[in-house]
Amino acid sequence: MTTTASPPPELRDFYENPAVPVASGPSRSLRQARVLARALGPAGVSGPRTVLDIGCGDGTAAATAAPLLRGHRLIGVDWSQDALTRARTRLPYAVRGELGDHGLPFASESADAVLFSEVLEHLVDPDAALDEIRRVLRPGGHLMLSTPNLAAWYNRALLLAGVQPVFSEVSLRGIHGRPGTEVVGHLRLYTARALREFVAASGFTVVGLEGAPFHGVPRLLRPVDRLACAAPSLASILLLHARRT
């Protein structure tokens, strides 16, 4: 996913590069959508709710979630014009917006839910981002956030071996000291405990935290990665559900 806060000049070209991945795996998108669908209820019962996919990237995650959120208004938001061009081929609504300083093009307390998938780790100022998300959410509105886990089971082993953890990056030009082949622009990483504390300190009540697998894990290790989801603190991906207080 691309950042939705206007990045510093040295990062802008990176995030507008079509070669930079803007979609994450479908597994976590479906898991988030199922939790959100249960929380919102059927559109025919509660009426259509407004769901913002902030950092929608190419729209893949929102398109994956759409069948489970049928009847609700799903709007993609991203900073990158390249990502929005691709998102508009999958979503009926995709608009440009930035996080921080009232940069989202929505009135205060106008949204019922926010999907925030694989964005937090890209942000220079995550505090301002959650402030802006809290502004556009109605009281009691839902935040569905996902981000890589710094303390994933394999990262613990890698650190013991003196190897840079997966998901962490020291350069925007290449991979150094860690497994993997893609540079994706991660600036911040969270453990399960740090994520809970950060979201709670930003004016949200944490409802639940789950784990999800990572599509980049080697095939032979994927069964272990799926098992690790039972303990979110060890999982590859953290899926957090919170509500605006």
pLDDT band at 16 (very low <50, low <70, confident <90, very high): low
Q: CB neighbours of 9 closer than 8 A, spacing ≥ 6?
A: none
pTM score of the predicted model? 0.89
The model's pLDDT over 42-76, given as tens digits with 9 standing for 90+, comes to 987 878 999 999 999 999 989 999 999 999 999 99
> How far is residue 80's CA from residue 11's CA, in Å, rounded to a whole number?
11
pLDDT of residue 36: 94
Span 197-215, average pLDDT = 97
The model's pLDDT over 91-139, given as tens digits with 9 standing for 90+, comes to 999 999 989 777 899 999 999 999 999 999 999 999 999 999 999 999 9
- Residue showing tokens 């603190």: 233
pLDDT of residue 18: 56
pLDDT of residue 20: 57
